Structure 1
Amino acid sequence: MTVRLNPYLSFRDNAREAMEFYKSVLGGDLEVATFEQMPGSDPDEANKVMHAMLTTPHGLVLMGADTPNAMPLNVGDSITVSLSGDQTELLGGWFDGLAQGGTVTAPFMQAPWGDTFGMVTDRFGVNWMVNAEGVRD
């Protein structure tokens, strides 16, 4: 059983370029998914990065994505803390705790890619993503 804490960077139309740069510096394997692979997304944003994950040989994980045009991107909002792992109950509890006094921007529920996923801005203004591998019980 694992739980990880990873930085998640937000970009405006240059996530692929930035993540490829980080790969050139840090090494490792880069996985990139575009909005084209997400049902119901804006066709004009099909080539934008929905999610990218760089995993380095030293165990570092850096994630990032392009912010859709319909969403604001403020410099202070350009990083999100991502909690992920395979302990759905634990991660769900953390999501609920972070949501106390905060704002849920996406409920912790099954996502189109099969995991349980949610987003919340805590009461201090910190953005969080929580992803549990598999389906929530």
Structure 2
Amino acid sequence: MAQLSTYIAFPGNAKEAFTHYQGVFGGDLTLITYADMPQMEGMPFEPDPTAVAHAQLDLPGGTITGSDGMPGEDYVVKGSIYSLMYELDDVAKAQELIDALVAAGGEINMPFEKAPWGDTYGQVFDKFGVMWAFDVPGN
């Protein structure tokens, strides 16, 4: 079975981000640090043992995966070229999630309201710079 999952390389704060996402969205979180993994031959860098090598959050309707980025790389997370689209069937639940992201330091990018195409839609940047789009179809 094929499955598409989002993968985000964070600039050293993947554990904080994934723990935050679990607190907002719920789900099952797996965090693996480099210290948890066997020594790997041919690594292009010496990993910090406390850095997140892989994180996976299985939440209702999808999976978010990611890690801490490689040292020396410039990881700009905030931008509007992408977003994580979360489609729900309950306007109140979507608003609750948006409110939780904003209360934790996020900011509204587009108000959550009735869109011209008939859905209720809005966008928020979370405190890590990730843009979340929320959509409740035809309500």
Q: Give the structure with the larger strand fraction.
A: 1
Decide which structure has the larger Cα Rg and report it: 2
